[in-house]
Amino acid sequence: MLSSHNIEINPKHWVEHGREELIGIIKHELCHYHLHLEGKGYKHRDHDFRKLLAEVGAPRFCTPIQKLRTPNTIHLYKCGTCSQKYERKRRMDTKKYVCGKCGGKIQKVG
């Protein structure tokens, strides 16, 4: 899960998991981070990684964080008059916007 040197801790963990578990998750992430910086094996299957996890007493998996990440939802809109479709990454206010083609009213589809 480590694509850059950023450590992502989802604040939801504070609510949904206990403090102990969060500390474990942070330790786990730091193991990735540390080995990545050192140029050693930082992936779950790597020997260096497993060894370091055992040394610091961190849990073996970090999947809960990935699961909790909010998916990139696409909002679909349609013009009620000419049926022109619009895709937006963010929710848009259908009262404020009108169709760019015909000026008709925009409706939310999905």
* Among 8, 16, 21, 29, the one annotated catalytic: 29
* Annotation says 8 is catalytic: no
The token duo for 55 is: 């040394």
Which one, 73 or 103, has the nearer CB to Zn ion? Answer: 103
Are 45 and 72 in contact by the 8 Å Cβ rule? The answer is no
Output 66 or 73, the one with its CB closest to Zn ion: 66
The site map against Zn ion for 35-74 (x = CB under 5 A) is ---------------------------x------------
> Is the Cβ–Cβ distance between 81 and 99 less than 8 Å?
yes
Strand partners, 88: 75
Q: Each residue of 47-77: b (16+ CB within 10 Å) or e?
A: eebeebbeeeebeeebeebeeeeeeeeeeeb
Q: Give yes or no for residue 7 binding Zn ion (CB under 5 A).
A: no
Q: Which is nearer to Zn ion, 52 or 99 (CB)?
A: 99
Residue ranges binding Zn ion (CB under 5 A): 62, 79, 81-82, 84, 99, 101-102, 104
